[in-house]
Amino acid sequence: MRTCRRALTILTLSLPLAAWAAVPVVDDNASNGGGSYPPAGYGTTGAYAGGGVTAPASAQGELFMQLQQMQDELGRLRGMVEEQQNEIQRLKQEGLERYQDLDRRIAAGGASGAPAANQDSGNTGAINAGGAPVQPAAQQPAASTEPGDPAKEKLYYDAAFDLIKAKDFDKASQAFSAFLRKYPQSQYAGNAQYWLGEVNLTKGDLQGAGQAFAKVSQLYPTHNKVPDSLYKLADVEQRLGHSDKAKGILQQVIAQYPGSSAAQLAQRDLQRL
């Protein structure tokens, strides 16, 4: 019995030693190559590839990048909106100036409906819509098939002019065009041709305005609206980007009509070009 108890005691005491002997001993210097702690890759969730560790971007990092991209895009859109607003404001200002200019011209004498007196100013260098000089009598209005009736012509002309005062420029343009087709040799024709140009310019129809203004000097070379029509033609050419043509027309206005208000305006515009 004593022999058995002694054997069990020896066996029990020897068990911890055997357990300790089963635990492997790790040399930190051998496994980490430098004894650093914690070991490389500790706390990462990436996979080793080619000896390095690739860690995916965190959710917070991706969200930050998306927000940054959205802010950049928002800034770009704001810049575009500001440019468009500036352009709209510029167009509004131009439209307002055209209306004001038209109102001043209406108040200056066109509203009465009386035909403008002709003047023989020696105009030998009228300019067509393209800016090239033409002879003043190169083209005369075709004879009307309807006999002249000054009273009827005045009613027709006044009705067209009333459309300008009502700011109904589309109908005014149609009315003046119809008047000129029906009464091309009327005493009101020169005025109608000029106001057709004004209406088209106010509408923003630069091509139509240029053609209408040019025809004043071509068809009615001695009409007192010729200086104004040439000045307005220069304005149209400038708006179309034809600076050289505009300068040539303005110089002609100054040279041929030195005492006119159109010449004073032409001198001012030449200094700006």
Delimit the domains of the chain by residue range: 97-272
Distances (CA, A) of 202 to 137, 152, 171: 28, 27, 13
- The band of 93, judged by pLDDT with boundaries at 50, 70 and 90, is low
Structure tokens at 201: 């310019």
- When the pLDDT of each residue in the chain is averaged and rounded to a whole number, the result is 73
Q: Is the dihedral of CA 213, 217, 222, 227 positive or negative?
A: positive
State mean pLDDT over 186-207. Answer: 95
Residue 198 CA to residue 191 CA, distance in Å, equals 11
Residue 57: the pLDDT is 57
Q: pLDDT higher for 148 or 249?
A: 249
pLDDT tops 60 at residue 19:
no
pLDDT tops 60 at residue 143:
no
3-class DSSP assignment, residue 81:
helix
pLDDT tops 60 at residue 14:
no
pLDDT tops 80 at residue 261:
yes
For residue 37, give every residue at least 6 positions away whose Cβ sits within 8 Å of its Cβ, in sequence order, or none: 28
Residue 119: the pLDDT is 38
Which own/partner contact pairs does 91-96 have at CB distance under 8 Å and 24+ positions apart? Answer: 95/204
CA 78 to chain centre: 16
State mean pLDDT over 8-21. Answer: 50
Residue 213: the pLDDT is 97
For the question of whether the overall pTM of this predicted structure is more than 0.95, the answer is: no
Residue 56 CA to residue 96 CA, distance in Å, equals 60
> In the chain, what's the furthest Cα-to-Cα distance?
158
Residue 115 CA to residue 154 CA, distance in Å, equals 9
Residue 32: the pLDDT is 47
CATH code: domain 97-272 is 1.25.40.10
- The band of 4, judged by pLDDT with boundaries at 50, 70 and 90, is low
Residue 7: the pLDDT is 54
* Other C-beta atoms lying within 10 Å of the C-beta of residue 220: 24
